[in-house]
Structure 1
Amino acid sequence: LLKLMATGAAGAALAAWAGREALAQTPRPGKLAALPSVPSKVPGATTIEKLTDYKDASTYNNFYEFGVDKSDPARNAHTLKTSPWTVEVEGLVNKPGKFAIEDLLKLSPQEERIYRLRCVEGWSMVIPWV
């Protein structure tokens, strides 16, 4: 009976492992519009390295707020409401207040910077962020 149970458990685990490829082939949402930005003037914030493909950078991540599988955020991120957003400044400050994100974004041009991500899981990405 124990051998039968072990065989069943191993079979279930292998079936789930094999199904990961099918999940990886699931269609993803389309490409988002580019944000207006200027190249960064910060040393090291640009690169001549090959950038990671948009598809890979936008569909493989660990934002657990959107799910526990690495492909869940790509499917579920559209549920995040980014408007209206406010930032509240309070505490020991000279000018406390609430600021709309749109007003903060008008304070200076957005810069594009290159980030190099290296993970202990064995993957790495070179990604432009605004």
Structure 2
Amino acid sequence: MADTTAASPAANCLENLKSYVKTQKGFILAAEIFISFIIIICYAASFNGGYSAVAICEMIFAMVFFGIFMMEMDKQILLINWVWSDLFRAGTGAVLYIITSLVSVIGGSGDGARIAGLRSACIYPVCLRCLHHLPASQEQQAAHSSCY
């Protein structure tokens, strides 16, 4: 007979997800995923639907980093500096969002692209600033509870 007292891997993953979203870094990555999803919807509803590729790529990259940090694979794979990789991801995302938002705002016709451009230009660099000031280890995360 099977042991019913053991926790299933899916329940363990769900608990990791719940606990990681409660951290500052997890909340910021979840917010980036949500913002990218909203931007995808805005670009898809506009005439400038081609710019949705930037939002799709940034959402996928944020999901990958969210999964890596949630499962604490950053502590197992030490070959990559995950803090700098995440900072580089957020920085390039902010630059690409600002470029596409400027193109959408300047050339937009008042549709969803203009809304997506303004949203991404205002919110995504804030996420970049908060990610830059996040501490690297769990001990430092307990000492610092918010962005500077």
TM-score (norm 1): 0.28
* Higher fraction of strand: 1
Larger radius of gyration: 1
* Higher fraction of helix: 2
TM-score (norm 2): 0.26
